[in-house]
Structure 1
Amino acid sequence: MLIQDYPPQEPPTETLLFLHGRLMVLAEGIEGEEHRHGDDPSQSLIVYPAPEPGGPVLIFMHGGGWTNGYKEEMAFLAPVLNAAGFTLVSNSYRLAPRHVFPANADDAAEAVARTWRLAERYGYDRDAIFIGGHSAGGHLAGLLAVTSDWQAARGLPGDVIKGCLPISGTFDFTPGCGLSMRPRFLGPEGRFNEVKASPLFRLGETAPPFLIAHGTEDFPHLMVQAKKFAMVLRARGLAAETVEVPDATHGTVLLMAAETDKPWLPAATHWMRAVLGRRA
């Protein structure tokens, strides 16, 4: 899909505009197949299949403060993941302020369902689906991973997500979480979406393993949240590992994710194989 085919987005900050530009340059010439699962153009995904069938899948969602971003930006991850035997799926979701929670989470859940159903077409293993994302995408990935109220309605097994890999995600929106302002995707106050949208407060008795990453120069409140969320997961007997990317900011930690000599990519591919019990 062309960027101009999407609904208008909020004017991006200079930081977001720079990151978008870098990502689109890195994504140039990388082709996948698009599928829609709703009337809004943002309700769509792109599949970048691995060359060999039977491998795992990573659904990875873009960031952008819940108000910006495009699935096409994540294409830069496809070559390195495909080379490692992983299919990449990148999905968009409806954005604030026009759409508020839980619209974005519903779209992410539909993308998981569509990925599960496309397995026969592309030959990947639908019983080896992982989910991740950067920033706002990392938040949505974490929320889907810890909640169990969306799978059955879509005909999915409860354990459809085998592991979660958020990068610089937000796990807590309640007062004192460190955010400088209340994100607009939460909608009007009084709906208690701060709690409903917070993976930290949606944890049940079970959750898939987590690999939680951030840069050492990331936003301070997100580094604190990552450490706290990992601690809470472990305290509940759930599996959580962390990756800190040296000298990476909130934006460059994503740009480094496709670099084989940086920590995230080798850690992520090894970790996903280990979760599945496959050879590293």
Structure 2
Amino acid sequence: MKKLHAALLGAILLGGVAACSPLPTLNALSPGKSLRSGSALAYGENTRHKLDVYSPEDNSVAAPVVVFFLGGNWTKGERDDYAFVGRALAARGIVAVIPDVRLYPEVRYPDFLDDSARALAWTVREIARYGGDPARLFVMGHSSGAYNAAMMALDPQWLAKQGMQPAALRGWIGLAGPYDFLPIENKTTQPVFHFPDTPPESQPINHARAGTPPALLIAANNDQLVDPLRNTGAMAARLRGKGVAVQELHFDKVSHTTLVASLAAPLRFLAPTLNTVEQFVKSDAGRLAPGIKPD
């Protein structure tokens, strides 16, 4: 088993989760295929406006809900590749919703934020059919998906278009998120955000304000793609300065890519990411004390 863990970890480090090559292996080794309760459900009219739902086996009581936005630098990524995230959350008693959103070059900022808001609005309307409690709604993302999650929680204009407000979210969870990245150095990212005319309001850190939902911000200390101090550290500090409750964690044994991979059963030895997310959600972002036990 240790050799399997090492081989899988090596594949992720070499290929990168963002490149998607190791993800089928992660999914194949993650238990809970039967937990997907809804597949390719439409939340809009575009071919990318589809989502999958993963529900706990015990549906006797409505469960908290996490909408997870996947990473990929706003240019790539498929919800099917992140089945391991949905299965992991559902196995812990959380309904998981994993949407696709439109990507560059089909769209640029801010169109994928409109898609994110539409996916959240669909969740509020429909998730009770899948065992979820829309009153206990959280948003989560990794990398560029964490950016999308942050903008849903911090900038009210996107949810307002769907007749919602950030107050509808009980909390938000960012894994290795880019929250402050001007001027844009990444050549792939530049056209997504209209560089060099990127508007300052595109940066989540500029929307940190009092009264926004509590946050759980997790980063990898050795992240070589998204600076954990400038982004996670600075965002946490800015939110605390506004009186917002923040849990901030920096893990040593993961990278930018293996942070999200550590949610999968074979790689949970790298970091307690799943336990931390579960506790945040089940404690209602720290408002309760569920007493989650580690693996």
Q: Same fold (TM over 0.5)?
A: yes
Q: 8 Å contact 2:215–2:246 — kept in the other structure?
A: yes
Shifted more, 74-83 versus 98-107: the winner is 74-83
TM-fit CA distance, 1:272: 1.5
Shift of 1:180: 4.2
Describe the SS at the equivalent of 2:172.
strand
Distance apart, 1:18 and its partner CA: 7.1
What fraction of aligned residue pairs are identical, expressed as a percent?
A: 25
- TM-score, length basis structure 1: 0.86
8 Å CA contact 2:37, 2:130 repeated in 1: no
Contact 1:217 1:248 in 2 (8 A): yes
Q: 1:117 is paired with a residue of what secondary structure?
A: helix
Structure 1, unaligned runs of 5 or more: 1-13
- Residue 20 (structure 2) aligns with: 20
Q: Aligned-pair distance for 1:215? A: 1.4
Letter aligned with residue 279 of structure 1? P
Question: What residue number does 2:3 align with?
Answer: none
In structure 2, the CA distance between the partners of 1:17 and 1:149, relative to structure 1 (3 Å rule), is closer
AA aligned to 2:132 is Y
**Aligned residues between the structures:** 263
Equivalence for 1:248: 254
**Does the C-alpha gap of structure 1 residues 110 and 278 become closer, same or farther in structure 2, counting only changes over 3 Å?**
farther
Matched, 1:52 2:53: no
Residues 1:196 and 2:196 aligned together? no
One-letter code aligned to 1:108: S
Tell me if structure 2 keeps the 8 A contact 1:62–1:73.
no
Give how far 1:278 is off: 5.8
- For structure 2, the residue ranges without an aligned partner over 5 or more in a row are 1-13
Deviations 1:162-221 (A, max 9, x none): 11111111101323x7x444532113543x43x222110122332111111111221265
The equivalent residue for 2:228 is 223
Cα RMSD (Å): 2.2
Which AA in structure 2 matches 1:25? Answer: T
SS at structure 1 position matched to 2:228: helix
Query: Following superposition of structure 1 onto structure 2, how do residues 1-280 of structure 1 map, counting pairs within 5 Å?
Result: 15-16=15-16, 19-28=19-28, 30=33, 31-33=36-38, 34-53=40-59, 54-175=62-183, 179-181=185-187, 183-187=190-194, 189-190=196-197, 192-193=198-199, 195-219=200-224, 221-224=226-229, 225-259=231-265, 260-261=268-269, 262-274=271-283, 275=285, 277=288, 279-280=290-291
Question: For residue 6 of structure 1, what is the aligned residue in structure 2?
Answer: none
Normalising by structure 2, what TM-score?
0.82
